[in-house]
Amino acid sequence: MTHSKKPVLAMILKGYPRISETFISNEIRLLEQRGVKIHIISMRKPRENFTHKSISEIKAEVSYLPSTLEGCLEELFGSEDMDAGLKDPRYGKDDEFTARVDEIWNVYRETGSEASFKHMLQGQYIVEKILPGSDIFHFHAHFAHSPCSVARNASRLSGLPFSFTAHAKDIYTQKPEKITAKISEAKFAVTCTGYNCDYLQSIAPEGKPIHKVYHGIDLNLFSSDKELTCSGPYEIFTVARFTTKKGLPTVFKALKKLEEKGVDFNYNIVGDGDEREETLKLLDELELNGRCNWLGTKPHEEVLEHYRTADLFALGCEIAPNGDRDGIPNVLAESMAMSVPVVATTVSGIPELIENGKTGLLVEPGDSDSMADAMERMLTDQELRKSLIPAAKERVHEIFDNRYWINKLADVYEQYGIKA
């Protein structure tokens, strides 16, 4: 494989594009603006039928991997037979090919996991179908679970280095020893909060670097100078996936308590997810449907309109039973930048962005009584709003500007020879 004057960074993603992962597409877009040439390798095709407008600014070539075990076998060996690689005419004749197939089978024999087997096959697909002539010289995966596994496998099979960015679920739903093993093989690792960084450093082999790089948000897009005070009926807003770690039942129960206190409000929630039906049933049980509207998934342009009319943003993040948790949800920073005060919880990296009583109000996860009190205070204490909203906006500008952090990330890349 020969390198052109412009070596290519392969970015391995779970899916592309994804509405809920604008922090990744923004990173790619800004790295391209810095001059980094990127090839996106996605483990599956998009599930949504629309994207944010910023996706159109990305110039990277996109390759999609076979997303099923059967698809991998068929694409690589012309058969869905699990023994297809061993029956391939290249096996036993081409030393490099034989070594790859042997490694894939060794992983399967060791783990017995079809997911691990598929990830090895996806790694081979990258090496055989994407790598030749591509000028790819480094793999970087977003998320420490399956994308990192694929990147590590492609690295093992090709000899090219890999690195990864760890975010949230991918960190805390894996056994620590699995992440330690990935860190030990990776050239470096990045994560998006100080909370994550401390944890990863505690399980990393000595001397292996973990770099903290916040996602940041586009402060040109999320910008608003609205009236600091408000009056009823109040507009309360949430953007979240319907998943346990978002703590939406805590928000809904707090809304019921607000109603019982005589607070007049309307509530809008944007988002979707596997637990949507189960979660929305709670609004029926609480008899809140007359005040609450589920709006589905929306592009940035429509979300911005809701920020502009909202008096309060609420999110009830918690640690799920399987260990899943958020880092710092970007929607909190977006709200603060849009002059919408935030009530949230003390989970994970959220206190790195929000200082209770100064740039927002924080309560313990699962405490709907305290959340209701904080919501009422944020809506009715106009002096608090006058001091807190400008301070919150200043805080976001101080630590969450994505252009600052993309330059920091580019500096990290350059330390390891990944240059524009």
Task: Note the pLDDT tens digit of each residue in 261-286.
Answer: 999 999 999 999 999 999 999 999 99
pLDDT at 1: 42
Is the same domain home to 173 and 291? no
pLDDT in tens, 132-188: 999 999 999 999 999 999 999 999 999 999 999 999 999 999 999 999 999 999 999
Looking at the fold, whether 386 and 411 belong to one and the same domain comes out as no
Average pLDDT, whole number, for the chain? 93
pLDDT per residue over 289-302, tens digit each? 999 999 999 988 89
| Within-domain flag for 222 | no
Among 395, 342, 14, 415, smallest CA distance to 214 is for 395
Range of the structural domain that residue 395 is part of: 234-399
- Position 29 pLDDT exceeds 80: yes
For residue 3, being part of any structural domain is answered with no
**Taking 70 as the threshold, does the pLDDT of residue 50 lie above it?**
no
Question: What is the total count of domains within the chain?
Answer: 2
The answer to whether residue 2 is domain-embedded is no
- What would the pLDDT profile of 188-238 be if each residue is shown by its tens digit? 999 999 999 999 999 999 989 899 999 999 999 999 889 999 999 999 999
Residues 25 and 125 in one domain: yes
Residues 192 and 213: beta-carbon distance below 8 Å? yes
Give the least confident one: 111-120, 355-364, 377-386: 111-120
If asked whether residues 391 and 407 sit together in one domain, one would say: no
CA–CA gap between residue 206 and residue 208 (Å, rounded):
6
Same domain, 308 and 383: yes
375-393 average pLDDT score: 98
Q: Indicate whether 71 belongs to any domain.
A: yes
209 plus 263 within the same structural domain: no
Residues 243 and 319 in one domain: yes
Are 384 and 411 part of one and the same domain? no
- The mean pLDDT value for 398-405 works out to 94
Instruction: Indicate if 375 and 320 belong to the same structural domain.
Output: yes
Same domain, 376 and 262: yes
For residue 166, the SS3 value is strand
Q: Are residues 137 and 264 in the same domain?
A: no
DSSP symbols for 107-140: HHHHH--HHHHHHHHHHHHIIIIISTTS-EEEEE
What are the strands of the beta sheet with 210-212, ordered from one edge? 61-64, 37-42, 8-13, 136-142, 162-166, 189-191, 210-212
Return the CATH number at 130: 3.40.50.2000
Q: Is residue 344 part of a domain?
A: yes
Could you give the 3-state DSSP secondary structure of residue 86? helix
What does the pLDDT read at residue 52? 67
Q: Are residues 83 and 174 in the same domain?
A: yes
